[in-house]
Amino acid sequence: DAGVIQSPRHEVTEMGQEVTLRCKPISGHNSLFWYRQTMMRGLELLIYFNNNVPIDDSGMPEDRFSAKMPNASFSTLKIQPSEPRDSAVYFCASSYGGASNNEQFFGPGTRLTVL
Amino acid sequence: KNEVEQSPQNLTAQEGEFITINCSYSVGISALHWLQQHPGGGIVSLFMLSSGKKKHGRLIATINIQEKHSSLHITASHPRDSAVYICAAENFGNEKLTFGTGTRLTIIP
């Protein structure tokens, strides 16, 4: 298996622009997680889905952030409009199970820079 | 909200030394995860444990549920073990992880 796939790997954009990050989970996994990592705050959960349904989005910073999972093999995280403080590495992870005690497999991350 | 603390924040050791990284959490959990983040940025799951001890090669993870404490040990450390090690507490009933701030380990040849 190719593992969790994220694109793009790097994104540089200007403040105010829309940014879309993409994730393809491991085939057969039914939970998908979006995380953000910054120097100041470390790793934080933004939102997670189980069976394509958002379960907890309490970590989404504000209305500028939105996430969708239209099917079991694809998810997007969108920031509109982007701001310099959104600069971070965004990780997608997936797991099989849905309840608890399931190993999570991380993608390589998307490094976002907002100028 | 679970508060997860790790110590030390930074650790430098000579090759061959025995390494211990500690993690404590404030609220009961269903599992404790140990992750490794390499200098290139990729994150790999090392262990997930809810009781006792697990071993994988030179890595050993232990957890004490009553004391809300977990440790990650590395025996015969090697420069390739240099990475950031992150513990994460998983809530009961869902898969939400709360992360520690990480321990940056550097092993000198």
Task: Please state, in angstroms and rounded to a whole number, the distance separating the CA atoms of residues B49 and B31.
Answer: 5
CB B7 within 8 A of CB B70: no
Q: Which residue has the higher pLDDT, A34 or B94?
A: A34
Task: Please state, in angstroms and rounded to a whole number, the distance separating the CA atoms of residues A68 and B87.
Answer: 28
Judged by a CB distance cut-off of 8 A, whether residue B90 touches chain A is yes
Give the model's pLDDT for residue A87. Answer: 97
CB A75 within 8 A of CB A4: no
Count of CB contacts below 8 A, A vs B?
64
Average pLDDT, chain B: 93
Give the model's pLDDT for residue B17. Answer: 97
Task: Please state, in angstroms and rounded to a whole number, the distance separating the CA atoms of residues B104 and B16.
Answer: 17
Bridge partners of A42? A38
Residues 36-65 in B contacting A (C-alpha not used; CB under 8 Å): 41-45, 48, 50
Please tell me the number of Cα atoms within 13 Å of A23 on its side-chain side. 32
The pLDDT profile of chain A, 115 residues, written as one tens digit per residue, is 689 999 999 999 999 999 999 999 999 999 999 999 999 889 999 999 999 999 999 899 889 999 999 999 999 999 999 999 999 999 999 998 766 667 899 999 999 999 9
Judged by a CB distance cut-off of 8 A, whether residue B93 touches chain A is yes
The distance from CA A113 to its chain's CA centroid, rounded to whole angstroms, is: 15
Residues 39-58 in A contacting B (C-alpha not used; CB under 8 Å): 42-45, 48, 50, 55-56
CB contact under 8 A, B50 and A50: no
Length of chain A: 115
Identify which of A31, A91, A109 has the shortest CB distance to residue B95. Answer: A31
